[in-house]
Structures are given as structure tokens and as C-alpha cells.
């Protein structure tokens, strides 16, 4: 993928940087970074998080990497590596705001200078362990619903919850994609009713109901770690998942981060805030996969989207995503809301 942003034409762009969440991890995704100076971040994240991150990025298989705590620290680290290389290659790029999808919000907070690398890694480690524990205590399920808008899906969810079932909207990813979460029975019932209404559903390969009240135990555990963390003033606004509002640093992020575990990811509203309110003219998806680039194109189809993944793409002669289209298979992936 592209190592440098394309040269701007006309007025200077105002970039919004997007960081992915769980679901984009893949075996060996750290290999391209081993020879870069950014690789020293791996040891820093390992020490702070308590995981052997080099092993997770280089040698483990998909089953190990798909475990919630492993996936989160791996995606966080890979995204940090990409961000470090992006800034080295594009030092003059006018980045004016950042945002991250679920887990990616922690990468955004580090990129914005709100969290140190060590504090971000420590929180991601605690978050992953807390969410895995909560899912074991109260297993759940998630499914992506496509073909209808969020109001239609919310109505379906409300009707099922009115019958006493546990079901909530977990993500509003694009105008035509909403993720629901709750008990397995409730998700299965929603899938059946969605099909009757002409909507498509895809059950996600998770045993957790992320971004729902099922994560309350994780919120309590993570809250203790958040309370012991210093959130600095920051140098860039970060648009929060829970309300799609831009914030700089400060202790308010303790509550925003705790709420994020049990609240809807308002990704469509986040993209619109970046574009409409903060004046971002381009989006840059930084980190593994191309999920966020695909969601951005579907939400704001006239806004240029760039993809930055590998550190040596330009030198290797690969074709960068740049201002071109994101591959359909990548764009169609549903991010796990973790």
C-alpha cells in the first residue's frame, strides 16, 4: 500500500487519520516492520502490556491471534508502527484530527499525544483481558445487518428487546451497515426477522456482546486502570466513539473510555464530524486491513480516502491505494466491535 501521500493539487488537504479496531489482525502482520526503526515500539508495548508482542506479530497462528486480548494488543501495536512510519514519510502532512474504531481509539489517543505509548499499551492490555473475562462470565453474540439504515435496525432491536430479550445496537458503521449485540438467542431472532424484512445479516465469529451492557464487568475493571492513568492535554482533537464529539486530552477521557465499552460506536457520525465540523478534506486509514477506508468511502463517497499499511510498499514497486479504490474484499469486512 502507499508509503507516501499523493501530492496535493489545488488547496492544501486537511487530513483525518483513522485507526482500526479488532478484526483486521492476521498472522505475520509484523513482518514488514522488523527492519524499521519503529520496531523498538514492540518492546515498549510488550513491557507495558504484559504480552510478548513480537511473538504475536510474527509467529502465532490465526486461532491464537483471534483471542480478544491477543488481537487487541496486536492491532494496537501494528497501527502504532504504521503511524510512526507514516509520520516519518509524511512529516509535513497536515493532520488536523484523529479517530479510532473501538480499540483504535486508544491508538488515536497515543497519536494525538493524550496517552504515552506505555500508558496506551497498558490500558489496551487491561482492556483486552477485562473484555475476555466479561465474555466468559456472560457469553454473547454479534451480527452485522446490511441493506437497511440504522433507524430500521434500531426499530427491529427495540421490538425484540421489548419482548424481554437482550439486544442492542453496537456499531453504526456505515449508512447501510449496523452491528447488533446481545444474547445468542436474541441475535438469532433478529437475524430471522431481518431476513423477513429483506435485510442481510452476518453473524460475527465472536462469543462476546461488545459495546453492550454485557461488558459492564469489563468497564468496572478497566475503570480502575483508567483512573490511575494520566491523560495529557494532547496536540490533536480525537473524535470519541460514544458521542462523535471532538475532544482534546484531559481526565474526561477516563469516563469516555469506560463508557465506550458499553456504548454504541457512532462511526458514521464520527466521520461526518471529522468532515463537516472539523473541516477534514481527506481520510487516511492507517494500520492493518482496509476496513475503515471502505466504511469511509461508503459514508462520504466524494471524500478522498488514502490507505497506509506497509512501510516499504513504494520501494518494492507495489501499487499504493492512494486515491484509487480500496479492494472490494477488504472494504466489505466487518470490524469486530472490540
What is the four-CA torsion angle of 10, 14, 19, 20, rounded to 10 degrees? Answer: -50
> Is residue 309 within 8 Å of residue 326, measured between CB atoms?
no
Where residue 12 falls among pLDDT bands split at 50, 70, 90? confident
Q: Collect all residues with Cβ–Cβ distance below 8 Å to 253 and sequence separation of at least 6.
A: 109, 114, 226, 231, 247
Q: pLDDT tens digits for 219-231?
A: 999 999 999 999 9
Structure confidence at residue 5 as a pLDDT band (50, 70, 90): low
Task: Report the b/e string of 175-211 with b at 16+ CB within 10 A.
Answer: ebbbbbbbbeebbebbbeebeeeebebeebebebbbb
Alpha-carbon span 297 to 283, nearest angstrom: 9
pLDDT recorded at residue 330: 38
What pLDDT sits at residue 45? 97
Q: Is the pLDDT of residue 307 over 50?
A: yes
Beta strands in 175-294 (DSSP E): 177-182, 200-203, 238-239, 246-247, 265-266, 282-286
Tens digit of each residue's pLDDT (9 = 90 or more) over 251-305: 999 999 999 999 999 999 999 999 999 999 999 999 999 999 999 999 999 999 9
Average pLDDT of span 173-187: 97
User: How many CB atoms sit inside 10 A of residue 43's CB?
Assistant: 11
Q: Any idea how long the chain is?
A: 338
Q: How far apart are CA 26 and CA 24, in angstroms?
A: 7
* 282-286/305-308 β-pairing: parallel
Residue 321 has pLDDT above 50, yes or no: no
Of residues 287 and 91, more confidence is placed in 287
Residues annotated as part of the active site? 102, 211
70: closest CA among 125, 13, 151, 148?
125
CB 16 within 8 A of CB 282: yes
Q: Which residues have C-beta within 8 Å of that of residue 309, sequence separation ≥ 6?
A: 1, 82, 286, 287, 288, 289, 290
Q: In whole angstroms, what is the distance from residue 204 CA to residue 293 CA? A: 20
Mean pLDDT of the chain: 89
Judge whether 284 and 306 are in contact, CB under 8 Å. Answer: yes
Query: How far from chain centre, in Å, is Cα 138?
Result: 23
Tell me: pLDDT of 248 over 50: yes
Amino acid at each position: 500500500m502507499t508509503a507516501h501521500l499523493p501530492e496535493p493539487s489545488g488547496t492544501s488537504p486537511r487530513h483525518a487519520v483513522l485507526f482500526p479496531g479488532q478484526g483486521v489482525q492476521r498472522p505475520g502482520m509484523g513482518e514488514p516492520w522488523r527492519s524499521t526503526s519503529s520496531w523498538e515500539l514492540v518492546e515498549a508495548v510488550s513491557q507495558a502490556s504484559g504480552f510478548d508482542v513480537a511473538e504475536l506479530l510474527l509467529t502465532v497462528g490465526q486461532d491464537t491471534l483471534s483471542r480478544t486480548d491477543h488481537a487487541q494488543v496486536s492491532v494496537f501495536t501494528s497501527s502504532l508502527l504504521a503511524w510512526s512510519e507514516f509520520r516519518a514519510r509524511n512529516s509535513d502532512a497536515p493532520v488536523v484530527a484523529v479517530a479510532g474504531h473501538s480499540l483504535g481509539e486508544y491508538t488515536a489517543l497515543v497519536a494525538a499525544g493524550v496517552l504515552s505509548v506505555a500508558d496506551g499499551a497498558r490500558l489496551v492490555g487491561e482492556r483486552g483481558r477485562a473484555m475476555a473475562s466479561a465474555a466468559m462470565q456472560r457469553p454473547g453474540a454479534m451480527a452485522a445487518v446490511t441493506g437497511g439504515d440504522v433507524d430500521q435496525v434500531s426499530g427491529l432491536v427495540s421490538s425484540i428487546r421489548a419482548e424481554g430479550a437482550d439486544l442492542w445496537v453496537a456499531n453504526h458503521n456505515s449508512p447501510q451497515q449496523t452491528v447488533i449485540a446481545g444474547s445468542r438467542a436474541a441475535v438469532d431472532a433478529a437475524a430471522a426477522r431481518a431476513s423477513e424484512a429483506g435485510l442481510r445479516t452476518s453473524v460475527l465469529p465472536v462469543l462476546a456482546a461488545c459495546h453492550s451492557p454485557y461488558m459492564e464487568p469489563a468497564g468496572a475493571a478497566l475503570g480502575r486502570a483508567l483512573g490511575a492513568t494520566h491523560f495529557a492535554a494532547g496536540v490533536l482533537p480525537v473524535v470519541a466513539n460514544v458521542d462523535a464529539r471532538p475532544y482534546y486530552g484531559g481526565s474526561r477521557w477516563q469516563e469516555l473510555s469506560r463508557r465506550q465499552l458499553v456504548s454504541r460506536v457512532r462511526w458514521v457520525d464520527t466521520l461526518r464530524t471529522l468532515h463537516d465540523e472539523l473541516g477534514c478534506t481527506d481520510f487516511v486509514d492507517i494500520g492493518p486491513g482496509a476496513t475503515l477506508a471502505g466504511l469511509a468511502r461508503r459514508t462520504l463517497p466524494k471524500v478522498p480516502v488514502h490507505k497506509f499499511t506497509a512501510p516499504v510498499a513504494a520501494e518494492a514497486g507495489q501499487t499504493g491505494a492512494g486515491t484509487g479504490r480500496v479492494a472490494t474484499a477488504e472494504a466489505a469486512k466487518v470490524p469486530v466491535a472490540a
